[in-house]
Amino acid sequence: MESKRKYRTAIFYSDYFEKFFIEQSEKVKSKIIWTIGLIEELERIPETYFKHIESTEGLYEIRIKHGSDIFRIFCFFDHGNLIILANGFHKKTQQTPKKEIEKALKIMEEYRNENE
């Protein structure tokens, strides 16, 4: 079996992402795992799957679509190629809810304070 080169490594911080993940159906969990694998293995990630959140410093969203359902997982980088998964949510409106972005920014700040 050929091992794939990883350009990044994704890990989750605390239990924020884990709580979101375990609430999902098996099919959605599989799609999340597949998408994270893609982000780790592709040198250039299409914006379809990974996008910087405008008006934030260093916050990104992993974009997952399963059928008509849309999910977002906020994340940020630490030490270059380490992606820290923060919170995730089921996106039900066109706009990303401000409270979800604020939550992600708090998680990022908490992580950075712990890891200085």
Render 42-63 in DSSP notation, one character per residue. Answer: -SS--TTTEEE-TTSSS-EEEE
Quote the pLDDT of residue 1. Answer: 55
Quote the pLDDT of residue 116. Answer: 80
Phi/psi of residue 90, nearest 5 degrees = -90, 120
| Entry pTM | 0.92
The residue-averaged pLDDT of 98-106 equals: 95
Domains and CATH numbers, the chain: 9-114 (3.30.2310.20)
Give the pLDDT confidence of 1-59 residue by residue, as tens digits. Answer: 556 789 999 999 999 999 999 999 999 999 999 999 999 999 999 999 999 998 889 99
- Please list the alpha-helical segments (H only) found in the chain: 16-22, 26-41, 98-114
Quote the pLDDT of residue 34. Answer: 97
**Would you give the DSSP letter of residue 37?**
H
